[in-house]
């Protein structure tokens, strides 16, 4: 079964598309008084981010005066754990509406920037909406949560693996909190690690609360307004995305919460991820258009570059970087009969298209060129390599632009190194071209990551 909106494959038990959030053409199930979840996946970077996709499942129930604290995760007794002093990995004050979180409306949810804050509105009873991004293992995550009214609950997701596997730390407006774990889609896909528990550390009513979660190995520690709440141990998920969530309960029709001053701290494990994009969000900023020589567009969760005949076609990310490493999966969808083409990464792209072109070909060659004032200069001439998968196949391409050093690697193997200092910064581009008259080349790009320059 396919989604009628975006065409992606969906399962027989899905109510909403896991890619675009569209409601599927069938009667929506209701289950066991647990709210349905809509989530939007945003791909993050350290200091910059992009997004998205949407999923749906069911959410545990509302706190009641009779609720008691029940921990199915293993509780940890005092002393209070020490919060690790890790470096800042992500910071967003939501002043910039282009910071990478989604800005869209769906049938049962709305995601938006407003007044230097980020809002999530969930519409209808028994729903939960989320937005998630990045990837972290051990972390300290903190964010300020402000309700617009008395309805609903809100909080953070963490260690999110795929659409339906994550932890959620949420609070309600009556001063209670809980920790839940989702492990599969559907009404029975939730486990309550810590049931609703009242805390004097939480502010009640329409006021802000600063939430913090600390994950170190299997230990999960929760904080509110700078005060320690509890620690539990659960080893189900070792790492994954982080996110923000807003939910309604069965007797509510709407809940709106604002988020501000998001910070994530994580251990330094090597080059910093500056930005990444899986192209699931058509609004992530890449150039889109039809031109005399071809087209660039989002399609099926990838970025498609088509050169319709002899010549080059490229699209840019509309961002700027200096030193760094760019990696991307490149799949030849269409090529000349003899695979005589070229495709890959452009680093330090200038406004007129000048920059460094690090490419491979469908017939197993690689090269590095510099385009300056519209004229091509060969830095590394086309050279054959059996490392490159030929024809309609996929290759992982890595382009290093660090100072004057340029490097091209394919499928984990370094193929070329050269030095040039013409350009020091610029945009990121993805390029495809055909070297045969009247023969098109079409390349699908996915899973792009930009890393900081190596300090080694």
Residues 242 and 326 in one domain: no
Residues 306 and 230 in one domain: no
pLDDT of residue 35: 37
pLDDT of residue 188: 78
Residues 257 and 307 in one domain: no
Range of the domain at 257: 36-269
C-alpha to C-alpha distances, 169 to 55, 219, 285, 416, nearest whole angstrom: 18, 14, 31, 47
pLDDT of residue 119: 97
Residues 131 and 215 in one domain: yes
Final residue belonging to a domain, choices 204, 236, 269: 269
Residues 265 and 339 in one domain: no
Residues 173 and 127 in one domain: yes
Domain count of the chain? 2
Answer whether residue 221 is part of any domain. yes
pLDDT of residue 302: 96
Angle at 36 between CA 260 and CA 120, to 5 degrees: 20
Residues 149 and 209 in one domain: yes
> What residues contact 2, with CB distance under 8 A and at least 6 apart?
8, 9, 10
Residues of the chain with pLDDT under 50: 5, 15-16, 19-58, 64-70, 455-456
Tokens 């992530």 identify what position?
Answer: 284
Tokens 């609720």 identify what position?
Answer: 67
Residues 301 and 221 in one domain: no
Answer whether residue 15 is part of any domain. no
Record the tokens describing residue 87, joined without a space: 């470096």
Answer whether residue 279 is part of any domain. no
Q: How far apart are CA 261 and CA 47, in angstroms?
A: 13
Residues 263 and 386 in one domain: no
Residues 265 and 352 in one domain: no
Answer whether residue 209 is part of any domain. yes
pTM of the model: 0.53
pLDDT of residue 257: 97
Answer whether residue 81 is part of any domain. yes
Q: How far apart are CA 85 and CA 39, in angstroms?
A: 30
Question: What CATH number should be reported for the domain holding residue 332?
Answer: 2.60.120.560
Answer whether residue 390 is part of any domain. yes
Residues 128 and 260 in one domain: yes
Tokens 């809980």 identify what position?
Answer: 178
């Amino acid at each position: 079964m396919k989604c009628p909106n975006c065409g992606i494959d969906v399962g027989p038990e899905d109510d909403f598309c896991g890619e675009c959030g569209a409601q599927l053409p069938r009667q929506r199930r209701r289950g066991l008084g647990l709210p349905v979840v809509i989530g939007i996946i945003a791909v993050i970077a350290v200091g910059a981010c992009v997004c998205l996709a949407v999923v749906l499942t069911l959410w545990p129930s509302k706190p009641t005066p009779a609720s008691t604290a029940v921990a199915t995760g293993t509780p940890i007794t005092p002393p209070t754990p020490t919060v690790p002093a890790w470096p800042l990995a992500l910071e967003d004050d939501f002043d910039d509406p282009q910071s990478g979180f989604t800005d869209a409306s769906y049938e049962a949810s709305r995601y938006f920037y407003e007044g230097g804050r980020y809002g999530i509105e969930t519409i209808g009873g028994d729903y939960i909406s989320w937005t998630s991004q990045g990837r972290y293992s051990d972390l300290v995550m903190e964010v300020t949560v402000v309700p617009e009214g008395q309805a609903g609950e809100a909080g953070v997701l963490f260690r999110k693996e795929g659409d339906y596997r994550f932890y959620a730390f949420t609070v309600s407006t009556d001063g209670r909190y809980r920790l839940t774990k989702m492990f599969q889609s559907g009404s029975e896909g939730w486990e309550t690690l810590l049931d609703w528990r009242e805390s004097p550390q939480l502010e009640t009513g329409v006021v802000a609360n600063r939430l913090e979660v600390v994950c170190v190995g299997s230990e999960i520690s929760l904080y509110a307004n700078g005060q320690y709440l509890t620690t539990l141990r659960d080893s189900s998920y070792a790492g994954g995305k982080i996110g923000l969530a807003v939910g309604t309960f069965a007797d509510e029709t709407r809940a709106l919460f604002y988020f501000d001053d998001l910070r994530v701290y994580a251990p330094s494990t090597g080059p910093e991820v500056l930005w990444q994009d899986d192209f699931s969000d058509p609004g992530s900023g890449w150039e889109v258009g039809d031109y005399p020589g071809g087209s660039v567009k989002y399609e099926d969760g990838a970025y498609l570059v088509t050169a319709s005949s002899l010549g080059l076609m490229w699209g840019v990310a509309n961002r700027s970087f200096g030193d760094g490493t760019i990696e991307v999966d490149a799949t030849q969808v269409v090529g000349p009969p003899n695979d005589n083409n070229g495709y890959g990464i452009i680093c330090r792209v200038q406004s007129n298209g000048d920059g460094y072109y690090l490419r491979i070909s469908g017939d197993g060659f690689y090269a590095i060129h510099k385009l300056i004032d519209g004229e091509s200069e060969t830095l590394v001439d086309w050279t054959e390599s059996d490392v490159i998968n030929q024809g309609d196949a996929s290759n992982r391409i890595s382009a290093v632009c660090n100072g004057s050093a340029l490097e091209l690697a394919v499928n984990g193997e370094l193929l070329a190194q050269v030095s040039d200092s013409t350009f020091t910064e610029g945009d990121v581009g993805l390029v495809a071209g055909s070297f045969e008259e009247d023969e098109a080349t079409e390349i699908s790009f996915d899973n792009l990551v930009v890393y900081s320059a190596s300090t080694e």
